[in-house]
Amino acid sequence: MTDCIFCRIAQGEIPSDTVYEDDEVLAFRDLNPQAPVHILVIPKRHIATLNDLSAEDAGLVGRLHWVAAQLARQEGIAEDGYRTVLNCNPAGGQSVYHLHLHLLGGRQMAWPAG
């Protein structure tokens, strides 16, 4: 999608502070971090929301979480703990309509969220 900012980042059209990349997944630091570590993990293929996933995407969603766990170790936040978040649609807090997992850590997370 040419109008999707995350698709453009995944295609290398817009620079990012990339921390991980493979054939299916890209991870980069959030430009407006909400924690000392705030990384976005995205599929390279455009999927607008969680509601748009198919059964065939289950492995991809698992891969997003696996990458987040590897990055948490790499960033030194795995032992203390971290949060992963997938927002869906406006009431869920989604602002970019390309599926993305937030990896947040490096500080105490409050609950309830939001």
Enzyme catalytic residues:
100
- Residues 6 or more apart whose Cβ sits within 8 Å of residue 72: 37, 78, 82, 103, 105
67-to-2, 22, 94, 99, 103 alpha-carbon distances in Å: 26, 10, 21, 15, 10
CB distance 34 to 43 below 8 Å = no
